[in-house]
Structure 1
Amino acid sequence: MHGTRGEAIRLGLSEAIDAVVGVASVEDAVLLVRDRLGLDHVTFMTAAYARPVDSPFIRSTYPSQWIARYVLRGYLHVDPVVRAGFGSTGPFAWHDLEWDERQREFMADALAHGLGDKGYCIPVVDRAFRRSLLSLNTGMAADIWASFLARNVAGLEKVARLIHDKAMRELSPDGPAEPTLAPRQVECLLWTARGKEAKAIAVILDLSEFTVRSYLRTARQKLECRTLSQAVAKAIQRGLINP
């Protein structure tokens, strides 16, 4: 059984390498890699172009509630994976890092919010010394995961490089203008980031549930996101909402 699962992951990686080239955005790329490899989550982060550490370029499949919590609690300054990722030039597994008490508390909080207990990160540094980090998260069996990593480091590094190059194009000065959200769309995204469902948001804002869902759908479309979680993440990253 383990061999079958490992082979499926290997084939998924081969497909992912080909598919990442053709997708339209970094957001599409992280979703594709997650789904093709059967991972829990995939996150890409870059601090290119001297963006402030509190507002890096991030695309992630993490749940919107966790992303909002991560921002509100200042976990970017605690997260040992981010610290190691932007200070390293080679891939590493999460369990290879040394964790202090505060960082162990951070990880316990992450696990409680649906993250897998294993991770692997691939830093990228390009010729212009722009840095990024691709982080893979999973809860799959340790032996399957270890076997996959042992055989596919080069492929994963290629995926990370492809996504990095795509991000650099998105960050170019000639990229698309920031989307404009209506006040109600912003409010609905804000309450979603705070963990509220559409029905609860409707009560809070004195709107119908249908109207709330319509606002959220339009906001997601304006932000060019497939999922509401991605829309919340992008809105936080771009400063459109502050949970």
Structure 2
Amino acid sequence: MRGKLRDCQDFQQCLDALHESASDLGFTQVLYARQVLKPQIDNERWAPLRLNVRNFPQGWENIWREYECHDPYYHACFEGTLPFDWAKVQSNERLNDKERAAWKYLADFGLARGMTIPIHLPKGKFAVVSAIVDKSNANWSSIYDDNRENMFHMAHIFHNTITTQGYADQVEVALPNILSPREHECLGWAAMGKTSPEIAIILDRSVETVRLHIKNAMLKLDASTRTHAVAKAVHLGVLEGDRLFA
């Protein structure tokens, strides 16, 4: 695995190398995802997770965007740090209807037997690698038991490689497109403690216009106050908290 990654020049080549190494162990598909936001917005809502895949069946992504926030394998990553079998997630009686619909959607494409390795990162962010077998005649139990530890190490080597080689920015991620540029600007100044009259002077707009932009931002963020809106925007990654409050 390390040797294959050593020759890679970008993220896509690294993902090819991961797929090739996983194939040697009997897996038929792999995926990698990186979350740059805090994954859980609140108790019921999750930030979307964009999957970067190899050898997935044609058409699988057609309506997957509807399920990105409801992927139960994604949610299960925050119950521990070790690899887990998808079968354990599928049989979880606590899954809601949307989570069941998500795993069944993948299963309809033959993507029902897999394992996931969560990679937890600082500030609540994370990455994830999954390895899947779509061959109906394959002995999944043996593949999982024999390669659980191997895939764990491969996943961490893969993630560390793309991070240290500077390929992380090439990974497709899901970013929220919530606020308009003016709403973002007004809320950003509010986050730095500016009042509406002060923001109006800075942006050369009327006070009422500034208040309208902040009100619209509050509505989009489902926030009750501007302070609440700022906190949620930072949590979602819409505003960069480290820069705002440095």
TM-score by length of 2: 0.52
Instruction: Please list, as runs of the form range in 1=range in 2, the aligned pairs for 1:166-181 lying within 5 A after superposition.
Output: 166-168=161-163, 169-171=166-168
Q: Report the CA distance between 1:84 and its aligned residue.
A: 0.9
Match of 1:111 among 96, 107, 111: 107
Unpaired runs of 5+ residues, structure 1, are 1-15, 177-243
Match in the other structure for 1:165: 160
Paired residues, what number?
155
Distance of aligned partners of 1:96 and 1:129 in 2 relative to their CA distance in 1, 3 Å threshold: same
CA deviation profile, 1:73-104 (whole Å, cap 9, x unmatched): 2x111110011124431111011121444333
Identity of aligned residues (%): 17
Distance 1:35 1:157 in 2: 15
Give the aligned residue type for 2:30.
Answer: V
Alignment of 1:154 with 2:149, yes or no, is yes
Quick check: 1:17–1:155 contact (8 Å CA) kept in 2?
no
Match in the other structure for 1:208: none
Alignment of 1:88 with 2:80, yes or no, is yes
Q: Report the CA distance between 1:40 and its aligned residue.
A: 2.9
Distance of aligned partners of 1:133 and 1:86 in 2 relative to their CA distance in 1, 3 Å threshold: farther
Q: Report the CA distance between 1:70 and its aligned residue.
A: 0.5
Q: From the two aligned structures, give the one with the greater helix fraction.
A: 1
RMSD: 3.2
Distance 2:102 2:122 in 1: 34
Distance 1:115 1:143 in 2: 13
Instruction: Please list, as runs of the form range in 1=range in 2, the aligned pairs for 1:129-148 lying within 5 A after superposition.
Output: 130-140=125-135, 144-148=139-143
CA deviation profile, 1:153-174 (whole Å, cap 9, x unmatched): 22211110011113323125xx
CA deviation profile, 1:127-165 (whole Å, cap 9, x unmatched): 786521111111346883222332332221111001111
Match of 1:45 among 27, 33, 41: 33
What secondary structure sits across from 1:65 in the alignment? Answer: coil
What secondary structure sits across from 2:63 in the alignment? Answer: helix
Q: Report the CA distance between 1:20 and its aligned residue.
A: 3.6
Distance of aligned partners of 1:96 and 1:160 in 2 relative to their CA distance in 1, 3 Å threshold: same
Quick check: 1:42–1:60 contact (8 Å CA) kept in 2?
yes
